[in-house]
Structures are given as structure tokens and as C-alpha cells.
């Protein structure tokens, strides 16, 4: 069982310690103040110059923008991030020529997208990493998330993945101003 420094207040509500936490990925570990856990990244590693479809995780420091969860598999997580339930129609545009590139849309959608409602558990809970969002640069990479790892920790398509219990435990520590720094 993992321990996370959270303070409890009110009738079952959870609040993070005084300030929200920043995360770091380095050499196979996701690190936060007071803890760390095994993490998987993109199949081609961490790169400074990410391109759409290269299978790499982008290096740098990025905001943690928001979160999503599968309401049929879990309840809403406690978090300082804006978190909403996924729907079967949610998708993320990964077509660099589309005007909604690297954004959430609803299906059906005319451009190529990545479905968010998956059969496996990797997107049962996820945090949107604010990579290539302000401004969006066509072809620089899309749909970079912190999500649940597959049981064998196989590489991702460019995201960072940790065990479900780790991500659930981190959610109360994350909020407005939280970042992730990714180093190879």
C-alpha cells in the first residue's frame, strides 16, 4: 500500500496539503515530494523535439491541465484539478492538419482521432499534460497524458504511465499550478 500526504477535512472530503505538488519523471520513475513510483514512457524514450507519431515522450516542464475518469469503473477522484467523467463519444484529435489538433472533441468527428473510452484500463483515470497546447503547433505531438500503466509496464505511445493506485493517490495532491518535468 502506498502512502500519500493528504489532509482530511469535512464529511469525507479530501484536500491536498497547503500547496499542490509538482511531479518529475526521470530514468523510469515518477517522483513527487515524499515519494516515487515506477513509470513507463514512450517506446522511443524521452526527446526534446517531439513529432506526431514518433512514439516519444516530450522533454520539458509542462502544466497538468485537467483530468478524466471512467464513471463506469470508478467514482470521481478527489483533486484540485478540474476533473470530469469521460463519455463514449470523447476523442482526442491527432490529425495535424485539423483545426482541433491536440484537443478533445466528440465522436463522430471528421478527422483522425484517438478514442478516450478504451476497453483496457489505461484511460480509466488520466491527467492531461499541457504539452503543445498554448499555442498548438501542428505536428509537434498530441494526446500526452499521465495515465494508468498496463500490467507489464509496456511503453506508451508518448504518455507517462503509472500503476492505478499511484495515480489515484496523486490526484488529491494535484491542482492549479501543478507541473510535470520530464527528463530522460
pLDDT digits (tens, 9 = 90+) for 156-183: 999 999 999 999 999 999 999 999 999 9
Q: Which residue, 71, 75, 74, 63, is CA-closest to 127?
A: 63
Using the structure block, give the residue that is written with the C-alpha cell 469521460.
86
* The residue to which cell 492505478 is assigned: 164
Whole-Å CA distances, 75 to 10, 38, 165: 18, 24, 14
When pLDDT is averaged across residues 14-36 and rounded to a whole number, the result is 84
**Is the preceding omega at residue 104 within 30 degrees of 0, hence cis?**
no
Find out whether 167 and 121 touch, Cβ atoms under 8 Å.
Answer: no
Summarised one tens digit per residue, pLDDT across range 57-88 is 999 999 999 999 999 999 999 999 999 999 99
Return all residues near 68 (Cβ < 8 A) that are at least 6 apart: 83, 84, 85, 86, 90, 116, 123, 125, 126, 128
* Residue 47: closest CA among 149, 134, 141, 133: 141
Among residues 132, 72, 33, the alpha carbon closest in space to that of 145 is found at 132
CATH 3.40.50.720 fits 14-183, yes or no: no
Tell me the three cell numbers of residue 49: 523535439
Domain ranges of the chain: 14-183
Question: For the whole model, what pTM was predicted?
Answer: 0.90
Smallest CA-to-CA distance from 13 within 94, 107, 78, 81 is with: 78
Amino acid at each position: 500500500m502506498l502512502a500519500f500526504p493528504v489532509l482530511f477535512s469535512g464529511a469525507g472530503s479530501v484536500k491536498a496539503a497547503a500547496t499542490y505538488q509538482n511531479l518529475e519523471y526521470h530514468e523510469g520513475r515518477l517522483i513527487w515530494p515524499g515519494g516515487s513510483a515506477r513509470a513507463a514512457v514512450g517506446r522511443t524514450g524521452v526527446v526534446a523535439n517531439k513529432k506526431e507519431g514518433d512514439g516519444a515522450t516530450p522533454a520539458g516542464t509542462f502544466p497538468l491541465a485537467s483530468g478524466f475518469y471512467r464513471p463506469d469503473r470508478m467514482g470521481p477522484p478527489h483533486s484540485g484539478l478540474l476533473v470530469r467523467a469521460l463519455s463514449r463519444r470523447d476523442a482526442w484529435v491527432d490529425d495535424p492538419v485539423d483545426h482541433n489538433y491536440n484537443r478533445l472533441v466528440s465522436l463522430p468527428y471528421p478527422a483522425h482521432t484517438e478514442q478516450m473510452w478504451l476497453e483496457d484500463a489505461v484511460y480509466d483515470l488520466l491527467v492531461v499534460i499541457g504539452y503543445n497546447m498554448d499555442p498548438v503547433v501542428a505536428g509537434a505531438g498530441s494526446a500526452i497524458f499521465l495515465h494508468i500503466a498496463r500490467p507489464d509496464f509496456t511503453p506508451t505511445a508518448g504518455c507517462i504511465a503509472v500503476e492505478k493506485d499511484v495515480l489515484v493517490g496523486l490526484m488529491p495532491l494535484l491542482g492549479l499550478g501543478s507541473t510535470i518535468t520530464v527528463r530522460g
